[in-house]
Amino acid sequence: MKREIIIILIIWTIFLLFVSTQVKAAELLPHQKQFIDKYSTHVLKIPELTFAICGVESNFGRYTNSQNPEYGVMQMKIIAGRHLVNMLKIENISDDKLYEEINKPKVALLMADRFIRCLIDEFNGDVNKAILAYNRGTSNVRKTPHLDPNNYVYKVNKLKIEVSKYLKLTNDK
């Protein structure tokens, strides 16, 4: 009898966990769709991945609280923005101006899209390492390429699937 009760409790707990994650995902979807609809007309080369990282980084919100100085919907650091500016050979942009631009969703998405593509190239086409490098930095990924304590890559890839489905639906209309 005691064993049956324990089994029932375990099954009930698993069921509740499953239902709670399904409800949470459903609550986020309208907000995600609205954001994607607003910014998907811009020239992103890898929109599914860029939007997925945006969703994981900031839940498509313009500002989030962070322990590190990271800004905008893509939670980009000034140093990453500076790296991109130098790579694109854009001259005479101050950190203040860069901060202002990073906080504009359209600009942040375009910058992050370009940055992610560079990371993919840097890691020889390994998208998962590029995703991890976006979160942890390239030098950290080179030192410990399989360390992902927050399941960042899993979260991005999971959201990327949903974004891909949504973009395909909207493009088929």
CATH code of the domain containing 153:
1.10.530.10
18, part of any domain: no
53, part of any domain: yes
> What's the structural domain count of the chain?
1
Its pTM stands at: 0.75
Can you give the pLDDT at residue 37?
A: 84
84, part of any domain: yes
| Single-letter amino acid, residue 84 | L
| 75: nearest Cα among 89, 61, 92, 88 | 61
Can you give the pLDDT at residue 26?
A: 36
DSSP 8-class letter at 93: -
148, part of any domain: yes
Can you give the pLDDT at residue 30?
A: 73
Q: Output the CA angle 124-128-129, nearest 5 degrees.
A: 55
4, part of any domain: no
15, part of any domain: no
140, part of any domain: yes
| Cβ neighbours for 86, distance < 8 A, ≥ 6 positions apart | none
Can you give the pLDDT at residue 7?
A: 64
CA dist., res. 47 & res. 168, Å (int): 11
Can you give the pLDDT at residue 5?
A: 62
17, part of any domain: no
The whole domain housing 97 covers 29-172
Can you give the pLDDT at residue 78?
A: 82
In tens digits, the chain (173 residues) has pLDDT values of 667 766 665 664 554 444 433 333 333 457 778 888 888 766 788 999 999 999 998 888 755 556 667 877 888 888 888 877 887 777 888 888 888 888 888 888 888 898 899 999 999 999 999 999 999 989 999 999 889 988 999 999 999 999 888 888 777 76
